[in-house]
Structure 1
Amino acid sequence: MAMLDIIDLKAHFSSPDGLVKAVNSVDLQIKDNERLGLIGETGCGKTVLGMSIIRLLPSSAGVEGQIIYNGQDLLHLTEEEMRQLRGREIAMILQNPTTSLNPVLKVGDQIAEVISLHKGLGKKEAKARAVQMLEAAMIPEAERRADQYPHELSGGMKERVMIAMGLASHPSFVIADEPTKGLDARTKAEIVNLIRDMTTGRSMLMITHDLAAAGEICDRIAVMYAGEILEEASAETILNDPQHPYTQGFIRSLPSRGLHPISGSSPSLIDPPSGCRFHPRCPYAMEVCKSEHPQMMRLENGHSSRCFLCG
């Protein structure tokens, strides 16, 4: 059974240059206890999709479609009803902890505030629970670190604090936005292991451009490009048998696969290419790719791809 069912989701913003179609008719499902990686280049709409789920987009944004969480459409809830879900049942681990953490509050107090809000614990109990979450996040000397300010912690420590804060109220569904961004290789490996351990038994959407990290953590991977899902399959299939040319190129661009970048650059979300949005950069583009927009084609074993070659 799907814990989260996203149906024909669209999200757009007005800009001086025109309407930015950040998310275009996305369909996704995340099952109970399943971790889905949402992969794509910067600016493809990944974070907007995540913020749409938790309804933290600015009021000027237009959102259409359905986001069904445990049988209820999140887009139809009142702001108060949504506030009751945020943090308690649906939590988001924000990217860039340096700007996400409050610089004038001790990190333990910031975690304790989340616990008090959603669990109704007193100040002392909440602080003790915050220290326990820091210990679970493998932060040494957790009690001492809880009384420190964000600027006193390393980048990796701050990321651990963000993970501890996001999971403090034991949410059923977690959205992790670029949790390994900007970390050195050793710290990234530690954070990958931590997220994998601490999200076991939970449903998660991991938003990232780091395909290798998603492959280690996630059960399935969906590949996003220019506001659309281009391919979706098990993590193993995406890494070892990708069918969409964009996914193939994305994998070839990894350091471990030879570091061969995809030619060209991502298209504008204001005026995307006609037909297949990837066709200007695709080495296999045909005439039909330039004029007709491909639909997601179901292959086998839950694998689907938005490409005429697969048909």
Structure 2
Amino acid sequence: MPLLQVSNLRIRLQTHHGAADAVRGIDFALQRGETLGLVGESGCGKSITALALMGLLPEAAQASGSILLDGQELLGLDERALCRLRGNRIGMVFQEPMTALNPVHTIGDQVAEPLRLHRGMDRAAARREALALLERVGIADAARRLDAYPHQFSGGQRQRITIAMALACGPDLLIADEPTTALDVTVQQQILDLISELVAERGMALILISHDLGVISQNADRMLVMYGGSVVESGPTQAVFSTMAHPYTRGLFAARPQLTARAPGERRRLSTIPGTVPELADLPAGCPFAGRCGGAVAACHTTAPPPVQVGTLGAVDGGHLARCIRLDALPAVLEERA
């Protein structure tokens, strides 16, 4: 049995444009020790999926489907039961550490809090464990800085502190939502290496959310490509990167800056995906990417595409799947229109 099994998860939000389906029937499974990457543009449903796993959806949100953690259904749990899971069996590293940390409490108290709440440690024992955690995530001179406040640390140090908080109780599942946002490239890699090392060391499952394809390629065993609240392509990371079956996946890859040698003075325009991301309340009944796809036909706008097997990969976890009714014809059509 997988550690995490998500089946037909749907999330409806109330927006100023009316009801909107932010997540439209996604499915995935995650084993212990495995890393799953979620990739896609802002607003595609990545973070709201993570919040659903944590039981932190907005008050007016409506969620349906199933989220099983070790066989226990999480959807519909009351707040008290969810509080016993958050920070204990499920940890989360949020994308902006300055808002995730409480500015009026010391970092020592904040890292110690889940230990006191979930492990029943007294203040002294929790403080000792908090010190060990801060040292483990690379906070220099941690003993002296236990009583410092979040604003006294750099962005990279604050992210290390949130990682220590998320890992304090040794969760089974760690969710890292854009953990390197606003950090410089060197610090980004340090944070990603630290997360990978700690996940492997503790045998946790990891969900890594990012819009950065490079981050996913280097850190995820499997990946989901999301657009308009749907998973449009999924499978082993290297298989998705090598095949890029769905037109949206191809567009994402083509839009990456290319560090290739150029002739002196040569300029090359960066590729873009035509059109704009539609409002969630205005998504078509069919493929959510139909309005921006160069190979779309009438049926794409009206028919919800089923998942189709790509290539010859086995049926392990569904293999490599893409939701497109024109998978066979699409490469020739896009090449002709290029």
- Scaled by the length of structure 1, what TM-score is found? 0.95
CA distance in 1, matches of 2:69, 2:7: 11
CA apart distance, 1:207: 1.6
Amino acid of the structure 2 residue aligned with 1:152: Q
For 1:204-258, what per-residue CA distance to the aligned partner results, in whole angstroms no more than 9, with x for missing partners? 1112212211222211110110000000011112222211111111112223478
Secondary structure at the residue paired with 1:266? coil
For 1:168-217, what per-residue CA distance to the aligned partner results, in whole angstroms no more than 9, with x for missing partners? 11000111111011111111111111111111121111122122112222
Counterpart residue number, 1:35 = 35
RMSD: 1.5
The answer (yes or no) to whether the contact 1:88–1:169 under 8 Å persists in 2 is yes
CA distance in 1, matches of 2:171, 2:296: 44
Counterpart residue number, 1:235 = 237
Secondary structure at the residue paired with 2:121? coil
Secondary structure at the residue paired with 1:21? strand
CA distance in 2, matches of 1:15, 1:249: 28
Amino acid of the structure 2 residue aligned with 1:262: I
The answer (yes or no) to whether the contact 1:37–1:214 under 8 Å persists in 2 is yes
Unpaired segments of 5 or more residues in structure 1? Answer: none
CA distance in 1, matches of 2:327, 2:33: 30
For 1:69-112, what per-residue CA distance to the aligned partner results, in whole angstroms no more than 9, with x for missing partners? 11111113332222211111111111211111011111111001
The 10-residue stretch of structure 1 (220-229 or 87-96) with the greater mean CA deviation from structure 2: 87-96
CA distance in 1, matches of 2:141, 2:326: 55
The 10-residue stretch of structure 1 (18-27 or 235-244) with the greater mean CA deviation from structure 2: 235-244
* Number of corresponding residues: 311
CA apart distance, 1:284: 2.2
Residues 255 and 136 of structure 1, relative CA distance in 2, 3 Å threshold:
farther
Amino acid of the structure 1 residue aligned with 2:86: R
Counterpart residue number, 1:22 = 22
CA distance in 2, matches of 1:241, 1:142: 46
CA distance in 2, matches of 1:13, 1:184: 34
Secondary structure at the residue paired with 1:230? strand
Counterpart residue number, 2:208 = 206
Of 238, 246, 249 in structure 2, the residue corresponding to residue 247 of structure 1 is 249
Counterpart residue number, 2:4 = 4
Counterparts of residues 1-311 of structure 1 (less than 5 Å) = 1-200=1-200, 201-256=203-258, 259-299=270-310, 300-301=312-313, 302-310=319-327
Moved beyond 4 Å, runs of 4+: 256-259
CA distance in 1, matches of 2:22, 2:185: 31
- Scaled by the length of structure 2, what TM-score is found? 0.88
Secondary structure at the residue paired with 1:147? coil
The answer (yes or no) to whether the contact 1:11–1:64 under 8 Å persists in 2 is yes
Amino acid of the structure 1 residue aligned with 2:114: V
CA distance in 2, matches of 1:106, 1:65: 39
Secondary structure at the residue paired with 2:20? strand
